[in-house]
Structure 1
C-alpha cells in the first residue's frame, strides 16, 4: 500500500503579489498551491512577492496543502535570489519554469542545497519546450530531489506553432512523452492549465482526458476550477468498491491457482492497481 502518497489533483497558481488572494487561498480546497513569482507578477512587484511567498510557506496556516514556490527562470535577473530565498524557506517544492536538460536540474539542485534547502523540499521542473519533451527522460532522472514534472502547455503550444483545440491533438504526443518519462523515473506528473475559466464543460473534459492518460492532477488558474479537478482525479465510489472487492477476492483465492473477480481473471498487476486506487482514496480522505 502506498502510504506516503500525496494527492495532487488540484494545484492552484496564486500570484504572490496579491496578498488578498494569498489570504483567500487558506480556505480553498485545493491539494496544492504554487505561490507564483513569475508570470503572474509584474517586474516591479517581484521582490515584494518573494517576501509574501516566503511568509505564506512559513505561516503554518495552509493546512495539509502541498506548498510550492514558482521562481523566475534561469537567466533572469531575479532567479538567483528567488532560488536562495525559496530554498531557505523550505516549501514542499520549488517550481522552476522551462527546465530543458539534466544539467539544469543538477544546477538547480546544487543552488537549492547551497541555500540550505531542507531534505523535504523537492524540485518541480516545468516541461514546456520542444527540447524538454525530447530530453524528458534524462531530465526526469537528473536528480533524486526532482519530485514532479509540471506541464507548461501554453508555452508548448506556442513553441510548436500549434493551436489550442478541444482534445489537444496537437500536443498529445508531447504530453504522453512527458508522462512516460515521469513514470519511468517514479515522479509525479501534473497536467497543464485550462485557459477559459468560463468554459466549465471544456475544463471538465480536459480533466477527464488527463486522468485517463495518467496524470496525477492538473494545474489551475482559478479557484472555481478546484472542485472539478478534485472530483475528476479522485477514484469514484464505484472504483473504490471495485478495488476492495478485487483485493478481497485475491486474498480469499490464495493458493487456488486461478482467481477471478466479476468474471475476470485477477493477476498481481490488477491487485497492484487496486491497491493504488485505495491508497489514493485514503490519502484524499485524510485531507478532509
Structure 2
C-alpha cells in the first residue's frame, strides 16, 4: 500500500506485547510502534527491543513505522542505529523544525521519514521539511502544537486551522502524504467522526489514532464509499477527452485523473 492510501494509522506502545499482538488483528492501514510519548524513560530500551522483535514478525501486510524519540533525547541515536536494516517501512520523527533533522535520521536508518509538525517553528518550516531529503510524509502533532500556540484544550480546533492547512499545502507541493493529528476523547465516537470529516475536507489523507476502537471510523470517513467508486468508473467510461458534459456537469481531464486516483485508492485498501 502506498503511504497516501493509508486511512488509519494507529500508535501503540512498543513496550506492550499484548497491544502489538492485537494490532495484527485490526483493520488499520499502518501500525506505529511508539518509543516516545507512550513509553516512560526507564523503559525506552525495552521498548526498542520490543519494536525490533515485532518488526521481525511483521504485521500481515499492514504498513509499519516506529516513532523514535526526538533529536537530543538520550535514546535518539541508539534507536536510529537499531532500526537500520529492519523491516520497518517508515520512521516517525517527532518535533521536527528543520529539514536537516529528517535528513539525519534518513541517513542513519536508511528509512523514509514521516515528520511530525508539533511546534510553531515546524509549521513555518513545513515547506522546507516536506521538500527535504528523506521526507515521505507529514503528521500533525496537534496536542503539542496547541500547547505551543497557547490554545486552550477546550477551544476546539479553530485556532489550529491555519497551521493544519499550511501543513497540507506543504505536503501537496512536495507530492508527499499528510495525516491529521490524534483525537484524545476515547469514548466520543461522534466527535471523532466529526473531526475525521473536517480533516478529510482539509485535504488530509488519513488520521493518526491512539485506540483500536477509532480505526473503523477513520477507515469509513477516509475510504472511498461504494457509490463514489461506481460514479468514478462511470465518469471514466463516459469521458472522451477535453471538456464535455457529463450528467449535468462539465468534466475534463482533471476529473478523469481524480476518478482514477479514487479507484486506485479503493483497490489498494481492498488489497
C-alpha distance in structure 2 between counterparts of 1:195 and 1:110, whole Å: 33
C-alpha distance in structure 2 between counterparts of 1:77 and 1:133, whole Å: 25
Q: 2:75 aligns with which of 53, 71, 78?
A: 78
Greater displacement, 68-77 / 237-246: 237-246
Offset, 1:245:
1.1
Question: Could you say what secondary structure the match of 2:65 adopts?
Answer: strand
Q: Kindly tell me the number of residue pairs found equivalent between the two proteins.
A: 271
Q: Where does residue 169 of structure 1 map in the other structure?
A: 158
C-alpha change, 1:125 and 1:209, in structure 2 (3 Å) is same
C-alpha distance in structure 2 between counterparts of 1:258 and 1:177, whole Å: 31
Offset, 1:217:
0.5
Structure 2: 5+ residue stretches without partners: none
Offset, 1:100:
0.6
Q: Over aligned residues, Cα RMSD in angstroms? A: 1.5
Q: Where does residue 269 of structure 2 map in the other structure?
A: 284
C-alpha distance in structure 1 between counterparts of 2:132 and 2:97, whole Å: 11
Offset, 1:128:
0.7
C-alpha distance in structure 1 between counterparts of 2:3 and 2:39, whole Å: 32
Q: 1:48 aligns with which of 37, 46, 49?
A: 46
TM-score, normalised with respect to structure 1: 0.90
Structure 1: 5+ residue stretches without partners: none
C-alpha change, 1:244 and 1:167, in structure 2 (3 Å) is farther
Q: 1:207 aligns with which of 175, 178, 196?
A: 196
C-alpha distance in structure 1 between counterparts of 2:182 and 2:89, whole Å: 21
1:38-67 deviations in Å (ceiling 9; x for gaps):
00001111101101101111113x111110
In the alignment, structure 1 residue 273 sits paired with structure 2 residue 262: no
Offset, 1:4:
5.2
How do residues 107-122 of structure 1 correspond to structure 2 at under 5 angstroms?
A: 107-112=104-109, 117=110, 121-122=111-112
TM-score, normalised with respect to structure 2: 0.96
Offset, 1:134:
0.5
Offset, 1:235:
0.8
C-alpha distance in structure 2 between counterparts of 1:204 and 1:165, whole Å: 18
How do residues 81-160 of structure 1 correspond to structure 2 at under 5 angstroms?
A: 81-112=78-109, 117=110, 121-143=111-133, 145-160=134-149
Question: Could you say what secondary structure the match of 1:138 adopts?
Answer: helix
- Contact 1:249 1:259 (8 Å CA) reproduced: no
C-alpha distance in structure 1 between counterparts of 2:154 and 2:123, whole Å: 20
- Contact 1:150 1:189 (8 Å CA) reproduced: yes
Offset, 1:234:
0.5
C-alpha change, 1:37 and 1:4, in structure 2 (3 Å) is closer
Runs of 4+ in 1 over 3 A off after TM superposition: 3-6, 164-167
Question: Could you say what secondary structure the match of 1:89 adopts?
Answer: coil
